[in-house]
Amino acid sequence: MDDALLDVVVQRLEGSPLPDEASDLLLAALDGDDALGAQLEAAPAQRYVPEESTETGPAPVGAYLQSLTVSGFLGIGP
């Protein structure tokens, strides 16, 4: 699983919490078929805890806009 994606999902779950069962299923689904299957078979009291990744990927590459074109939008020049 992509750690950046996991971070985004966890942040959004903190901002807009789901019921525990739903968030457990979501996190398990992000971890793969085996984790999802185990979560679906687990007793409701068992909470899913994603595995910590020890891998560190390359630093993200920066991106720069060369141009931006907008038309028919109020507040933008001619």
Q: What percent of the chain has pLDDT over 90?
A: 0
Please state, rounded to an integer, the average pLDDT across all residues of the chain: 78
Phi, psi of 25 (to 5 degrees): -65, -40
**pTM of the complete model:** 0.51
Tens of pLDDT, residues 14-39: 888 888 888 888 888 888 888 888 88
Look up residue 12 and give its two tokens: 């959004």
CA-CA distance, 17 to 10, in Å (whole number)? 9
